[in-house]
Amino acid sequence: MRQTREKIILLALLAGVLTAGVTGCGAGGGSNAMKGAPEVAAESAVLTVQIEKPSYNSIYLTTEMVGTVQPEQTAEVYPKSSGTVTAVYFEVGDTVSEGQVLATLDSDSLNSAQISINSAQLQLETAQKELERSQVLYENDGITQQALETAENSVRSAQLQLESAQDNYNTLLKNISITAPISGVIESKNVDVYDNASMQQAICVISQKSNMEVVFQVSERVKNSLRMGNGVTLEKNGTSYKASIIEIAGKTSENTGLFEITARIQDGGNLSTGSKVTVSLVTDWAANVLCIPLDAIYYDDGKPYVFVSRDGVAEVVYVETGIYDDASMQIVSDLTQNDQVITSWSSQLTSGALVQSVEDTEKKDNPAKGQLADGAGELDAAESEVAP
């Protein structure tokens, strides 16, 4: 405890000496005050600037456009025969399976087909009875072999007619039951009970929404930068979706003169067919390249240059630049990662100007910071010795 008190007293005395020294320098008059004046004037001539070293980063340039959402596969459902709709088994938004019955028709053709079956059945029965009678007569030498064969041919002909009538009926029966050609979601409904269905008008549209696509159009310059599998980002009502390019048109659209691009959307089943989305895609990029802040670039007759600080003096360095975004510029050559690039603007910034960084200025403005930090460290150490 005694040694600790002695250390604390010693630190207090030291602090008093330092304070007296500072006060003595500031209060000195006459020739000492005049000697300090040129130093103050020299310091005020130094320009305080922001300084950064070039760093390696990646720059990506994106382009935005409007795209249209569509299913990867869509089917319009048409009746295979005309007739009055007797039942409808779907609504918009329903999920249906391939082969599922969507609606039925009451077709006059089906009635005619049933009549044809009945008539063919009657003709067959008549031909069979005639054959039985002819066989009895033939066995008793009542008719010739040729007459018997004629009766047999009549039965075979009647059988064929009945089979044809039954096939026609089954076909019509199948046609009046309108079924889903693919599995998917009903996007639209164009029929109700008692409507007259026509083979020229679709009763509904089915979309396979498990696989949705976005279609958008780009210029030739953008098209040449794209590759199959490139990723794009979609935005709809604040929600983002990922997609990848699966088709790049080889020729322009006749209507717009642009190239059509198709991308498959990941988890886009909740997007509506035909809805508009914002498409963002990377059209140019530079990965892991030397970059500086965009604001640090100046131009001399179109030639880019920067100011660098070398030994506290501003120098002009002309540079070769690459691509840039709203924050950074790619530096192709003439700068290294160790250069101190001046990134702040000043009307006094010229080649040969004396400069110092903001950090160095703060250190000069607060010379006692380091001393106070050192004293605080020693005091903490002394307190730790006192603590039990």
Interior angle at CA 33, CA 31 and CA 34, nearest 5: 65
Which token pair is 100? 């599922």
Closest C-alpha among 373, 322, 347, 353 to residue 56: 322
Flag whether pLDDT at 39 surpasses 60.
Answer: no
Report all structural domains of the chain as residue ranges with CATH numbers, in order of start. 48-57+288-360 (2.40.420.20), 63-73+206-285 (2.40.30.170), 77-205 (2.40.50.100)
For the residues 156-163, what does the mean pLDDT come to?
92
Tell me the mean pLDDT in the region 158-185.
88
Phi, psi dihedrals of residue 17, rounded to the nearest 5°: -65, -45
pLDDT for residue 8:
38
pLDDT tens digit sequence for 100-149? 999 998 867 777 888 999 998 999 999 899 889 888 888 888 888 898 88
Rounded Cα–Cα distance for residues 218 and 63 (Å): 10
What digits encode the pLDDT tens for the residues 226-261? 899 999 999 999 999 999 999 999 999 988 999 999
**Token pair in block for residue 215:** 């279609």
Tokens for 126, please give them. Answer: 């008549």
Say which residues have a Cβ less than 8 Å from residue 38's Cβ, sequence separation at least 6: none
Q: What is the mean pLDDT of residues 276-294?
A: 92
pLDDT at 353: 94
Closest to 51 in 3D by CA, of 312, 307, 354, 357? 357
∠326-330-336 over CA atoms, to 5°?
135
Residues 6+ apart with CB under 8 A from 371: 18
pLDDT of residue 314: 95
Per-residue confidence (pLDDT) for residue 303, from 0 to 100 = 95
Q: Percent of the chain having pLDDT more than 90?
A: 53
Q: Is 350 exposed, middle or buried (0-12, 13-18, 19+ CB in 10 A)?
A: exposed
For residue 383, is pLDDT > 70? no
Sheet holding 184-189: strands in order across?
74-77, 204-207, 184-189, 95-96
Q: What are phi and psi of 112, to 5 degrees?
A: -65, -40
pLDDT in tens, 322-374: 999 999 999 999 999 999 999 999 999 999 999 999 888 877 767 655 454 45
Give the whole-angstrom CA distance, residue 333 versus residue 360: 28
Please give the angle made by the CA atoms of 116, 120 and 124, to the nearest 5 degrees.
170
pLDDT of residue 126: 92
Residue with the bigger pLDDT between 110 and 90: it is: 90
Determine the pLDDT at residue 5.
42
Residue 7: pLDDT over 80: no
Q: CB of 83 within 8 A of CB of 309?
A: no
How high is the pLDDT of residue 94?
A: 93
User: What does residue 184 show for φ and ψ, rounded to 5 degrees?
Assistant: 165, -160
For residues 379 and 293, which has the higher predicted lDDT (pLDDT)? 293
Using the predicted structure, report yes or no on whether residue 384 has a pLDDT greater than 50.
no
**Residue 141 CB partners (closer than 8 Å, separation 6+):** none
Non-local (6+) Cβ contacts of 93 within 8 A are: 185, 186
Token couple for 257: 């003169």
At 204, the pLDDT band (50, 70, 90 cuts) reads very high
pLDDT over 70 at 177, yes or no: yes
Number of H helices, E strands in the chain: 7, 23
Residues 294-310: tens digit of each pLDDT: 999 999 999 999 999 99
Task: Report the phi/psi class of residue 12: left, alpha or beta, with left for phi > 0 and alpha for psi in -120 to 50.
Answer: alpha
Q: pTM here?
A: 0.53
Q: Report the chain's mean pLDDT, rounded to a whole number.
A: 82
What stretches of the chain show up as alpha helix (H) in DSSP? Answer: 2-27, 31-44, 108-139, 145-176, 220-225, 358-365, 368-386
Residue with tokens 């976005």: 214
**51 within 8 A of 343, measured Cβ to Cβ:** yes
d(CA 314, CA 137): 131
